Structure 1
Amino acid sequence: MPSALRLFRYVAIAEACSWAGLLIGMYFKYIAATGDLGVKIFGPIHGALFVLYVAGVLAAARTARWNLPTIALGLACAIPPFTSLWFERRMLARHRATTTQPQESATNSR
């Protein structure tokens, strides 16, 4: 797997984890009303990972030659919680299908 795609994968997973931390922090701040420490910690972390995710989508798109609708979907998946994981899994499956398919057909033709 090319390094841009590997980096995109790691950032997508980290971005989703930061969403979880931020949502937990928002629960404690707004629902439980016990303080805003979680939001103060995970807010900046999530913000940085959000920006890295956007850069990762663009870098992976260039490497994997995604079309414009795929890029737009990847960028849109940065907004709802945890959809970066769904998009990353979808693109990983697509990458594996396109990279293993020619090898399998070459093996089957022997």
Structure 2
Amino acid sequence: MLKQPIGRLRVIGFLEGISYLILLFIAMPLKYLAGYPMAVTITGGLHGLLFVLFIAAVIHVAFVHRWSMKQIFGALVASVIPFGTFVLDNRLKRHPSHAA
């Protein structure tokens, strides 16, 4: 899976999506409701790194598979919507170049 650009994008997207959900639904409530700001500091840093890797993976896939601007935009929008990367992953599973 990690040998193909689509496979790498799927893995990074999954990790980025999980980190985003942890940031939104665990770390932020810990910061604002429990007074534990370190949760956002740690989770936010990890999520930021995964977000940058996701953007790089999208760019790589876009060049290799000659994605349209619409496809690139859709992938980037998916990264900022909660659960969006999981929807993107479902679509990427059906991509012709992602033969198992």
Q: How is 1:58-77 mapped onto 2 (pairs within 5 angstroms)?
A: 58-77=59-78
The number of equivalent residue pairs is: 98
> What residue number does 1:102 align with?
none
- List runs of 5+ in structure 1 lacking aligned partners: 100-110
Checking the alignment, whether the CA contact within 8 Å between 1:21 and 1:38 is kept in structure 2 is no
Larger radius of gyration: 1
Tell me which stretches of 4 or more aligned residues in structure 1 moved more than 4 Å: none
Structure ranking higher on relative contact order (CA contacts 8 Å, 6+ apart): 2
- List runs of 5+ in structure 2 lacking aligned partners: none
> What residue number does 1:44 align with?
45
What TM-score results when the alignment is normalised by the length of structure 2? 0.84
> How many Å separate the matches in 1 of 2:64 and 2:15?
21
Q: Higher helix proportion, which one?
A: 1
1:89 positional shift: 1.4
1:34 positional shift: 3.2
Checking the alignment, whether the CA contact within 8 Å between 1:57 and 1:71 is kept in structure 2 is yes
Is the partner of 1:12 in helix, strand or coil? helix
> How many Å separate the matches in 2 of 1:38 and 1:89?
30
Letter in 1 for 2:28: M
1:62 positional shift: 2.1
1:64 positional shift: 2.5
Question: Cα deviation per residue 1:55-75 (whole Å; 9 max; x = unaligned)?
Answer: 111111222232221111111
Measured on the aligned residues, the alpha-carbon RMSD in Å equals 2.1
1:26 positional shift: 0.1
> How many Å separate the matches in 2 of 1:49 and 1:88?
15
Letter in 2 for 1:27: P
Question: Cα deviation per residue 1:10-65 (whole Å; 9 max; x = unaligned)?
Answer: 100000111122121001111x2331121011001001111111111111122223
Percent of matched pairs sharing the same residue: 31
Checking the alignment, whether the CA contact within 8 Å between 2:10 and 2:92 is kept in structure 1 is no
Q: Say yes or no: does 1:20 pair with 2:21.
A: yes
What TM-score results when the alignment is normalised by the length of structure 1? 0.77
